Amino acid sequence: MNKTDYIIRQIAKSYKKKYENYVVTRIWHLLNNLDIKFVTQQHITRSTGRALTDMYFPQIQLHIEVDESQHHNSDGTQIEQDIVREADIINATGHEIIRISIFTKSLEHGCSLKSIEDINQQIDDVVILINFKLKTLDQTLRIWDIEAEYNPQTYIERGAISVDDNVAFRTIADACNCFGHSYAGYQKASAKHAVDENIMLWFPKLYENSEWENEISLDESEIHEKKRTNHQNYFNEFVKNPANHKKRITFARVKSNLGDVMYRFKGVYMFDKQASECVGKVIYKRESVKVDTCKPIATQSDAIS
């Protein structure tokens, strides 16, 4: 995927919401800066569930919310919910949220559309703010390079992968290659760490599927694993086998916000025997949101598995 394809697909996601689409496209075109990345309908994990924000700039950790008519219901409950939701997002991420209001509410006229001049002024103010934030970062700004973003070599050179980097790879092989491998291809749901025998690489589906009833907690601190069939036998064997109890560098199989299958880094998890035996499921608890990467140790490409 190149930047052209990415940008067009991101903008297209809001085409059914005419005001949101107008705001998103105007902000992007006024910025006119291909060094910055934006995401539309960005998923945020909150303590009470997951939320979507309308536009997000990860390099400056800024979210834009477009308040349409539904944000001004007659009893004011939606406004209260928006305040709570915004506080949850800020508490969960530490990010900043800017709201652009499309409608105004008055006792006399109810909910009415703001003038285009008013809406544009709000957008202009947001663009000024974004440019100011970018300027203050100056030399520390990490330029958006869409190819580098998905390239294992990027994270090998950095020496680590962090959840804060929002890392997702296109293939399992790419994720494995951050930890000493040189795979041309790899399809299994787990792999050895090429350097540390006490660590394994894991690529689970953290949602219900034909084989598993897996789930990850809202704060992503725990993963619960359960087989759909013969779970008790699986559970008993898992608990008895020390080879299963290694630290797990975990890349969950997910769909990106553009619908592509990706493998997103969730952290380093460890089997919790006591908690697992209490509930009869395999439970892993996250012990780190960052892990060191390493250069390939093989002298030639690993065979395709």
Number of residues that this document lists for the chain: 305
Residues of the chain scoring pLDDT < 70: 45-50, 69-94, 106-110, 298-305
Every domain of the chain and the residues it spans: 3-140, 150-292
Residue in this structure with the two tokens 């520390």, named with its chain if needed: 140
Question: What is the distance, to the nearest Å, from the Cα of residue 301 to the centroid of all Cα atoms in its chain?
Answer: 30
Please indicate, yes or no, whether the overall pTM of this predicted structure exceeds 0.75.
Answer: yes
- Kindly report, residue by residue over 14-64, the tens digit of the pLDDT: 888 999 999 999 999 999 999 999 999 887 765 556 678 899 999 998 999
- Spatial separation of the C-alpha atoms in residues 56 and 4, rounded to whole Å: 18
Fold of 3-140: tt1808, chain A (3.90.1570)
pLDDT of residue 92: 47
Closest CA to 192 of 298, 300, 84, 75: 298
Residue 186 burial by Cβ neighbours in a 10 Å radius (0-12, 13-18, 19+): buried
pLDDT of residue 87: 52
Q: What are phi and psi of 242, to 5 degrees?
A: -60, -25
Residues 6 or more apart whose Cβ sits within 8 Å of residue 41: 13, 14, 52, 53, 54, 257
Please name the CATH architecture into which domain 150-292 falls.
Answer: Roll (2.30)
- Kindly report, residue by residue over 3-14, the tens digit of the pLDDT: 999 999 999 998
